Structure formats: structure tokens, C-alpha cells
Structure 1
């Protein structure tokens, strides 16, 4: 009578253990580390809200001031009434690497132009740990875009 085998061989079991260990060492930390995703989301949200405030300032014909600090960005009308804020993710704060407080004024002097506190293009770098992404806010137009 032929003998039927049941179960796995020792070589098959060892290969499964080795593959599982390799995945645990290399892939699992990347999947569980959500810092990159939170900061990328913060940068995308920053660009979207920035463009929204630029449009709002032009539609309402009112100046809107964006204040950029290490802990995030806040927007307010020129009169001081708050429009909202975008804080850094709680576990990655501060997430904007440039120090100090800088401002961007949309629809400056009701002329449609954008003015920055540096009087030149303003760089905003979202960084924490090994992640870093720089954005540039153009003076005059107020457009924001990521730098390569």
C-alpha cells in the first residue's frame, strides 16, 4: 500500500518562518509608521486651505492674513476675526521647520496681490524625523506649490 503523507515537511515550515520573519523585520515597521502619512496629509491640507483662502480673499475683496509658525498655520481677516487654523499633527509637533512667525497677506491693500513678511517668496518646510517636504508661496500671486 502506498503511504500518504499528511502535514508539512520540515523544510516547508522553515521557509514559512523565514519569510514571516523577513516581512516582520522589513515591511511591518513601514506599514505601522504613520508619521509619513500624517505629514503628507498635513502638507496636502496646507496647500488646499491656502488656495481656498486665496480665492476667498479675492471673492470677498478683503485681506486675509495667514500666520505660519512651527506649530501650524492660522488664517484670519485683516481685522483680526479668525477664519480657522491647521495645527501640526499632535505626535509630530512642531512640524514646520522654519523658526519664528511669518505672515502671508492675501489681497494685500485690496489690490489683489499677495504680500509676504519676507517681501519675497516664502518657503514652508514640513519636516519631522526623516520626512521633509518644502513648499514655496510665491509673492504677488500667492500660489503655493511643492518643491522637488
Structure 2
């Protein structure tokens, strides 16, 4: 009795390695382009903006020195009113410009503990790019910042 040749079952090592290489290439190059990360970057930028804003508001009151926040379309910069930079927060490079609404906010204005804005009232700054948009309101008298619905 002659036996039929036995067929091999499963995949060869070369086939498995090719599948892993193709999957890795898709994960590195194709998937990030398909998934829109704009919203995450801008949300992170807004959270960082609120955190730094509050920290510098406290610093102005603790040091009893006025600090000026300047909002432009490409980011925010903070400096002492008498001179000396305290830092900047730039828009994410792929979403620049990301701020609509420019102006200045002075914490501890004239060492009074109050905050003043360039508009004389509450200043609204909107972080937006593409389909994402989040407005932040900075109160004129307290300097507090919070997202608006």
C-alpha cells in the first residue's frame, strides 16, 4: 500500500516574519496618519495653558511682582512687568496657529493683588484648529482661567 504524501500544516517561519514586518510598518507609518491626534494635542495644550496660568498667578501674588501674560496666535508668553521672561507656551507645531483672541493679562497689577486685562473685562481666548475648538475665559478681577462650555 502506498501512502499519499503528507501535506505540511501551518505557516513557515519566513511567512510569519513577513506578517510581523508588514504589521510593524503599518503601525509606525499608516495608523498615525489615519488617526487624528489634533484634538488630543490641543486639549493637552489647553490643560497646560490653564496650569501654567494659575501657577504664574500664584507666583505674582507670592513674590508681590506684576507678571504679564501675552496671548498671540502662536502661543502665550509670560514675563515680569519690569522685564525678564518667565517662559513661553507655543502651539503644537502641527496646529500652529492655534489661538484666536489676543491680548494681555497682568497679574498683581500695580502690586494691588488685582488682575487687569487689555480688554478691561474678562478676556476670552479660544484654542482651535480643524474641528476642535475650546474657549477659555480669564476673569478680569481675579485672573482665574476656566474653560467655557
TM range (shorter): 0.7 to 0.9
Which stretches of structure 1, 4 residues or more, deviate above 4 A after TM superposition?
A: 28-31
TM-score (norm 1): 0.78
Q: Distance in 2 between matches of 1:142 and 1:82?
A: 19
Task: Kindly indicate whether residue 122 of structure 2 is the aligned counterpart of residue 106 of structure 1.
Answer: no
Aligned-CA RMSD value: 1.7
The counterpart of 1:44, out of the listed 38, 44, 47, is 47
Task: Kindly indicate whether residue 76 of structure 2 is the aligned counterpart of residue 73 of structure 1.
Answer: yes
Cα deviation 1:4-37 (Å, max 9, x = unaligned)? xx9xxxxxxxxxxxxxxxxxxxxx7897211000
Query: What SS does the corresponding residue of 1:109 show, helix, strand or coil?
Result: helix
Match of 2:120 in 1: 119
The counterpart of 1:88, out of the listed 91, 105, 113, is 91
- Cα deviation for residue 40 of structure 1 reads 0.1
Q: Distance in 2 between matches of 1:108 and 1:31?
A: 47
Bigger radius of gyration among the two: 2
Task: Kindly indicate whether residue 71 of structure 2 is the aligned counterpart of residue 54 of structure 1.
Answer: no
Query: What SS does the corresponding residue of 1:113 show, helix, strand or coil?
Result: coil
Query: What SS does the corresponding residue of 2:60 show, helix, strand or coil?
Result: helix
Query: What SS does the corresponding residue of 2:45 show, helix, strand or coil?
Result: helix
Segments of 5+ residues of structure 1 without an aligned counterpart are 1-5, 7-27
Corresponding pairs, count: 121
Q: Distance in 1 between matches of 2:65 and 2:34?
A: 44
Q: Distance in 2 between matches of 1:30 and 1:125?
A: 26
Match of 2:27 in 1: none
TM-score (norm 2): 0.77
- Cα deviation for residue 97 of structure 1 reads 1.7
Spell out the pairing of 1:22-41 with structure 2 (5 A cutoff). 32-41=35-44
Q: Distance in 1 between matches of 2:32 and 2:148?
A: 27
Q: Distance in 2 between matches of 1:129 and 1:102?
A: 23
